[in-house]
Amino acid sequence: MTGAVHLSDAVERARSGDVEAFETLYRATAGRVYALCLRMCRDPHLAEELVQECYVRAWQKLGTFRGDSLFTTWMHRLATNVVLGHFRRAGRRIDDLADAGERVAAEPAAERSSELALDLERAIASLPAGARTVLVLHDVEGYTHEEIARMSGVAPGTSKAQLSRARRLLRKVLTP
């Protein structure tokens, strides 16, 4: 049985209220959802709360999943919207190009680790919120500027500007 078929079966059962099946879906996708939440909000505790919110929301909305995309894709999109919704409620605007200016948090600029990925994660975490959000959605998660614009309610040009800024800041942080 392939993973997709396995999840497809679990989706069907979860849609009819089978909590065990929904747990299967959680186990299969939680890592990706947590990674998204953590990278976008950079606070592990908040990321945990957002992950919980994502799955509670998914449970409520499973009936709207039509199956014309992979469950993982649907879940990821839902998680992105949950995080962006949290940002909106918290008054964090991803179109604020002036947020934190060209500054990055001091912590990640610390000594370079031999683990480059960890360095990179820290560097991402150091970015201003708007730049970090767009960078994660575009360069890590693979969304287009148009998709980011639709989800976050900003112009595609704003998304592009935030991405350029994020990459520029990242290179600055990562340069020895």
Partner 1 sequence: MTCDELRRRLDDYLDGALQAEERTDIEAHLADCAACRAELDELEGLVRRLGDLPEAIEPPRDLWPDISSRLAPPVVVAGRFGSSARRWMAVAASVAAALAALLVAYSTGLQHGSEEAVTAREATPLAVPAGLEDTGFAEAEAEFSAARDRLLATLAERRDSMSPETLRVVDDNLRVIDEAIERISSALVDDPLNPRLANQLASAYRRQIELLQRASRLPAET
* Residues within the interface to partner 1 (CB under 8 A): 13, 16-20, 22-23, 26-27, 30-32, 34-35, 38, 44, 47-48, 51-52, 55-56, 59-60, 116-117, 120-121, 124, 135, 139-140, 142, 145, 160, 163-164, 167, 170-171, 174
Determine contact, residues 33/75, Cβ cutoff 8 Å.
yes
Buried b (16+ CB within 10 A) or exposed e, 105-129: eeebeeeeeeeeeebbbbbbbbbbb
Q: What is the DSSP letter of 138?
A: I
Q: 106 vs 117, which CB is nearer to partner 1?
A: 117
Could you tell me the smallest distance in angstroms from the CB atom of residue 51 to partner 1? 6
Could you tell me the smallest distance in angstroms from the CB atom of residue 73 to partner 1? 13
Cα-flanking dihedrals φ and ψ of residue 165, to 5°?
A: -65, -45
Q: What is the DSSP letter of 113?
A: P
Q: 91 vs 140, which CB is nearer to partner 1?
A: 140
Could you tell me the smallest distance in angstroms from the CB atom of residue 91 to partner 1? 25
Beta strands in 18-142 (DSSP E): none
As a whole number of angstroms, the distance between CA 94 and CA 143 comes to: 15
Could you tell me the smallest distance in angstroms from the CB atom of residue 165 to partner 1? 10
Q: 16 vs 114, which CB is nearer to partner 1?
A: 16
Q: 16 vs 91, which CB is nearer to partner 1?
A: 16
